[in-house]
Chain A
């Protein structure tokens, strides 16, 4: 008989169990794939440079993943026990011993978990190769990913399966025991309008002020390096968003529904009389879950924003450090050309630009200090003739403007304050210069900042040192061999400049030294002889690909978890709510109208969290987008997230309506 009861319960809630099992299987599959990737021989062969890093990262990531998946299973698994509350109490009334009911609950959970694990492990086996190939594709590695599960990983998976199933079954058994001990009737949610209305209004105020402060944050974020104001604003926004959202859910939204319910011209029209109350009731039931989903969605969007802009910043930083595949100066160009010739390297493009090095002094606003240093000067025409990628990240200037290109101390936040009053030895003072961070020929080719100046200024200005920079782009790399690189190592430093600063710039001089000084002094600068991306480019692409893989995997997993939680909340409406819908049908409410209520419930349940999450993630854009603007790409990322999230909403509606229709036919 117990077998029949379990079978019947599983069959009755099959739609809900199916969603839960699919979500769990997905999590188990991903966990297994991450775990098995760490000791996959093809990953080790293809990524030998990364050494144990990949193994360490996949182990850490799979552990984090497993931890959150376990939390999800505990939380969502509880829904089913709650759903069977009446059934368990009836069993007890009929004289079934408590231990038998608890065993039924234990076995049900164990069966569901076992099914989820079987499907999850199958998913792992089927998709391991696909995911491995995807990882290699993202890392731009041409290598065959071999399907492999090490004994160690397999043993660990079996252990996790046994322990997690046992623990989850025990937890649900304890939950069942508590239900049988408490025997309380359906809890009636207290409306407490005296509390909800002020709380709701306060929540709206908090959210509005958070948005206003976010607008300020867009402006203030650039001063984060020397002011605590942006940090204070961030703390306020986070607090106001989190608590404001809860209070809006707790007080404001139910109040709106209550007001609409009291406006008879609205509520006495069609099905509104019922649907407003029904929605309010469902909202009361789901406030904590909606809030939880909102905050996690906001976190997911904030993480995506952070990852996107972080990646952009690293990418931009990398590109400004290595704009050419190979760069050289006048002292090394001959040797490098000779080596390239030997290799028959296919040159796609080559560039050369004359530069002047002169002494400057100015007061730097960003560092708030007085600076004296050598600076490399380049003419506007030469700068403009370089490939676009060299100057696309710098401020745009015209032929009579100045642009100062300097190192960026922070990856994320650019200081775009213009420089003023830059004294140049033997040349007119530069009154205003725009700011940029992207160096032509790469930041490592320079010992200090660079200045792009109008052509006639450049022609007339004197120089302490004259140099020429060279840059090459290749088809399929520069092909420099290890031995050639070893030879070129001797040309790494082209020359050294010792600056003698005197009381004024006109008296200060630069002494050029060909040999490395025995003793480095504070004012000794080194001019790089050449700069090559080589392996770094490969590692950068591989690292970026791995990073994208992990971020995408976690984002999708989070989305699946959130979507399934909301779907299950909608599906697992209690018997009382289902019977109300059935009553409506009996007294002549059209099926389309009842479908409308279900659609409305679904839309609200899915729409409310995503709208509030988007409102909150606005602050993340302000924080990570260098406080400048909302870029097109981040809108696309958000749109992708919303579309995937929306898919869950549509599935949820379809399954929910199917369940209701089945009950109508009873």
Chain B
């Protein structure tokens, strides 16, 4: 599924105090690509991800997925599209505490009113794929942070989304849990040919991607393609991060 983002921009706040979160960004993502979006805090990573995933509307520009301009769709149709074609992993997991693990994971299928047999089949497959069969009856409160994120990933993937959006998926995890999650994401990307868009500020996390775009102050600053060697790619990312710096958010003290 090819994603074409054309000249999108987004402002927050009122006229005088408006913040230009995204300024005329264009980017293309190929089918089955694992794209990382990097940049300092406040650069516009999450806003870009939210707009591509139709959770927010851009002020200008187009988001075309497989020839369909999502910005022209009604909210209701956007929600339907989101539910059918997309999966989401958030830093804060966004699991429903009132539901147990199984109910959280099967929720996207239940929302699509899939038949019970399919729901059970997909659930078993997903639990085996992510190696979390023993968690199915557990309450969310009883899980570790790493387990929660894996469950969130299972929920995101159960309806075989064509695009997986991950916003700082490793942000709340320790390095071991983060590595496990990233391995799973890479596996899904390769096995299921799922297109993944991941926003992160962590170089190690980004090194799992096939390509990384760097955003600074709402514009694309640069991009690096994975040369096939993760260590080398990691170094390239670190170097680019040094070049970009912390962004305005971190430069406040320097200005003083």
Q: A588-B86, A589-B79 are in contact. Are A268 and B110 (CB under 8 A)?
A: yes
How far apart are the CA atoms of A586 and B91 in the complex, in Å? Answer: 13
Interface size for A (C-beta < 8 A) is 25
Check if B131 is an interface residue, CB within 8 A of chain A. Answer: no
Return B79 CB to nearest CB of chain A, in Å. Answer: 4
User: Which residues on B sit within 8 Å (CB–CB) of A265?
Assistant: 116
How far apart are the CA atoms of A584 and B110 in the complex, in Å? Answer: 13
Interface size for B (C-beta < 8 A) is 28
Check if A592 is an interface residue, CB within 8 A of chain B. Answer: yes
User: Which residues on A sit within 8 Å (CB–CB) of B82?
Assistant: 587-588
Instruction: Pick out which of these stretches binds chain A: B31-39, B101-109, B240-248.
Output: B101-109
Most buried by A among B79, B80, B82, B95: B79
User: Which residues on A sit within 8 Å (CB–CB) of B96?
Assistant: 274, 580, 583-584
Contact present for B88 and A591 (CB under 8 Å):
no
Check if A631 is an interface residue, CB within 8 A of chain B. Answer: no
The residue from B84, B88, B103 contacting A586, defined by CB atoms under 8 A apart: B88
Contact present for A277 and B98 (CB under 8 Å):
yes
The residue from B90, B95, B110, B119 contacting A270, defined by CB atoms under 8 A apart: B110
Q: Look across to chain B and name the residue whose beta carbon is closest to the beta carbon of A592.
A: B76
Q: Look across to chain A and name the residue whose beta carbon is closest to the beta carbon of B81.
A: A588
The residue from A277, A576, A580, A589 contacting B111, defined by CB atoms under 8 A apart: A589
The residue from A273, A281, A576 contacting B107, defined by CB atoms under 8 A apart: A273
Check if B69 is an interface residue, CB within 8 A of chain A. Answer: no
How far apart are the CA atoms of A581 and B106 in the complex, in Å? Answer: 17
Q: Which residues of A from 256 to 306 have beta carbons under 8 Å from B?
A: 264-265, 267-274, 277-278, 281
Check if B174 is an interface residue, CB within 8 A of chain A. Answer: no
Contact present for A269 and B110 (CB under 8 Å):
yes
Check if B211 is an interface residue, CB within 8 A of chain A. Answer: no
Contact present for A591 and B110 (CB under 8 Å):
no
User: Which residues on A sit within 8 Å (CB–CB) of B83?
Assistant: 587-590
The secondary-structure label for the interface of chain B is helix
Return A400 CB to nearest CB of chain B, in Å. Answer: 72
Contact present for A273 and B116 (CB under 8 Å):
no
Return B100 CB to nearest CB of chain A, in Å. Answer: 10
Contact present for B106 and A268 (CB under 8 Å):
yes
Contact present for A587 and B106 (CB under 8 Å):
no
Contact present for B99 and A277 (CB under 8 Å):
yes
Most buried by B among A277, A576, A588, A592: A588
Check if B30 is an interface residue, CB within 8 A of chain A. Answer: no
Contact present for B80 and A273 (CB under 8 Å):
no
Contact present for A268 and B98 (CB under 8 Å):
no
User: Which residues on B sit within 8 Å (CB–CB) of A584?
Assistant: 96
Contact present for B155 and A274 (CB under 8 Å):
no
How far apart are the CA atoms of A180 and B111 in the complex, in Å? Answer: 41
Q: Look across to chain B and name the residue whose beta carbon is closest to the beta carbon of A665.
A: B56
Q: A583-B94, A587-B107 are in contact. Are A273 and B79 (CB under 8 A)?
A: no
Q: A271-B111, A277-B98, A580-B97 are in contact. Are A591 and B79 (CB under 8 A)?
A: yes
Check if B75 is an interface residue, CB within 8 A of chain A. Answer: yes
Return B157 CB to nearest CB of chain A, in Å. Answer: 12
Q: A587-B108, A588-B108, A591-B75 are in contact. Are A269 and B113 (CB under 8 A)?
A: yes
Contact present for B116 and A264 (CB under 8 Å):
yes
Q: Which residues of B from 38 to 84 have beta carbons under 8 Å from A?
A: 55, 75-76, 79-80, 82-84
Q: Look across to chain A and name the residue whose beta carbon is closest to the beta carbon of B90.
A: A586
Contact present for B155 and A273 (CB under 8 Å):
no
User: Which residues on B sit within 8 Å (CB–CB) of A272?
Assistant: 110
Contact present for B80 and A590 (CB under 8 Å):
yes
User: Which residues on A sit within 8 Å (CB–CB) of B80?
Assistant: 588, 590
Contact present for B79 and A590 (CB under 8 Å):
yes
Return A266 CB to nearest CB of chain B, in Å. Answer: 10
How far apart are the CA atoms of A314 and B55 in the complex, in Å? Answer: 66
User: Which residues on B sit within 8 Å (CB–CB) of A580?
Assistant: 96-98
Contact present for A278 and B79 (CB under 8 Å):
no
How far apart are the CA atoms of A66 and B199 in the complex, in Å? Answer: 59
Q: Look across to chain B and name the residue whose beta carbon is closest to the beta carbon of A577.
A: B98
Contact present for A278 and B111 (CB under 8 Å):
no
User: Which residues on A sit within 8 Å (CB–CB) of B103?
Assistant: 273, 277
Contact present for A591 and B98 (CB under 8 Å):
no
Q: Look across to chain B and name the residue whose beta carbon is closest to the beta carbon of A576.
A: B97
Identify 5 residue pairs between A and B in the complex whose beta-carbon atoms are under 8 Å apart, listed by A's number: A270-B111, A272-B110, A583-B95, A588-B83, A588-B111
Q: Enumerate the 3 nearest inter-chain pairs by beta-carbon distance, A residue then B residue, closest first.
A: A588-B83, A588-B82, A590-B79
Q: Apart from A271-B111, A273-B111, A586-B55, what 5 extra A-B contacts exist at CB < 8 Å?
A: A272-B110, A586-B94, A588-B83, A588-B84, A591-B79
